[in-house]
A = this chain, B = another copy of it.
Amino acid sequence: MKNVISAVCIKCGAEHEATPGITTCSKCGGLLDIKYDYAYIKKNFTKEKLAQRELSMWRYEELLPVTGEAKIKKLRVGWSPMYKADRLAEAIGLENLWVKDDGINPTASLKDRASSMAVVKAAEAGVDTIACSSTGNAASSLAGNSAAAGFKTYIFVPDRAPKGKVAQLMIFGANVITVKGSYEDTFRLSAEAIDRWHWYNRNAAINPYLMEGKKTVALEIAEQFDFKMPEYVAISVGDGCTIAGAWKGFKDLYAIGAIDRLPRLISVQSTGCYPINKAFAENKPLEHMEENTIADSIAVGVPRNADKALNAIRESNGIAVNVTDEEILDTMRLVGRTCGVFGEPAGSAGTAGVRKAVKDGLIPSSATVCTVVTGNGLKDVANAIKAAGEPLNIAPDMNELVKYLKI
């Protein structure tokens, strides 16, 4: 990889060779961050080259830490649509609002960007099996992207995991192990198994390459804005990998001179679980929190990538907003009926945060804002039902219809 220098520990600063199977710092256990040779990239990354490439996350090859992606059968991940959302903007009180729908990815969430990367790195590492523990989008995206590429997967989930999500994993041919215990029990068992059988580790935060996959969402935002950056980018935050990844992408582009200003990040969490936003707001060390929100994908009381996420929010002169479940559900409806985009609760939280930030005067109505819908609402129909309200129910009789419709 001519574009990559090393993997740097964000805690002790030690530099390690960026081998495909690298996880955490061998000296202090800190998280690693992939360090690029921006001078080299600047020479090789041009908008002319870009214009000729396929529309997927892999179009940004100079900014990605890979060598083997061409040989892998991949699902078409990325290049999700960016919609100018005028009616939503008006409802919220903004002049310029854009919605990026990452729910159209192959397994219906932004996590496909990380899992597609995991598959490529696993191939580089020469292993044929990938593992993770998760009940949600990370698991289904790993299962789907691995199936396409012909990798075996072992996925550990607590046995309280919803049957629908487990079924999706099984359809993709994953070896699913439901564990009689808590999420922590499940995670520990998966870690032991990964150690024993030398499977490739697809656990966000711990594997530094996954964030490099996620950063492609930022590279796309920049390109879709023709490299003239919006002032704010809003992202819902759980373990912190997505917002940290997005920030890495923006910083990469800034470092090579492709954009001339960085956006401010809006970090959105739930009022029922906001450890990262709390640490940021109070400028104190992170404390673990309970997980009380319907937005399951961001209900992370012990976020594993908090350090990078906090750096991202701080460096960007960012804003932290916490939203209630009611605000999330109401925003699901609002985005649905003004944009035709159906996000899951965690996928709608970012937009709910923008709404609140405008209402509270944290961002001016003249600002240009981009919000990312990180997952498809079909993943969580139960909460869509909560959000949706009741339809009109009548007999098949025209008089009754006329009476009720009042038009």
Contact = CB atoms under 8 A, between A and B. Distances in A.
Interface of A: 55, 73, 75-76, 81, 83-84, 86-87, 101, 104-108, 143-150, 157, 159, 163-164, 166-173, 175-181, 185-186, 188-189, 192-193, 196-197, 332-333, 336-342, 376-379, 381, 384-385, 387-389, 391-398, 401-402, 405, 407
Nearest to A334: B173
25 contacts: A73-B83, A83-B148, A87-B150, A104-B106, A107-B340, A108-B108, A145-B340, A149-B340, A166-B391, A167-B385, A168-B388, A170-B389, A171-B332, A171-B333, A171-B337, A171-B384, A173-B333, A173-B336, A176-B391, A176-B392, A177-B391, A177-B401, A179-B393, A181-B396, A378-B379
Contact of A391 (B149, B170, B192, B398): B170
Contacts of A337: 147, 171-173
Copies in the complex: 2
A168 B392 contact: no
A212 B29 CA distance: 59
A84 B76 CA distance: 12
Contacts of A179: 393-396
Counting chain B CB atoms within 10 Å of each CB, the highest count among A104, A144, A188, A332 belongs to: A104
Contacts of A338: 147, 173
Contact of A55 (B55, B166, B168, B385): B55
A44 to B, nearest CB: 25
A393 B170 CA distance: 13
Contacts of A377: 168, 171
Contacts of A333: 170-171, 173
A150 B143 CA distance: 37
Contacts of A402: 196
Contacts of A144: 336, 340-342
Contacts of A393: 159, 177-180
Given A163-B385, A167-B387, A171-B377, A395 B340 contact: no
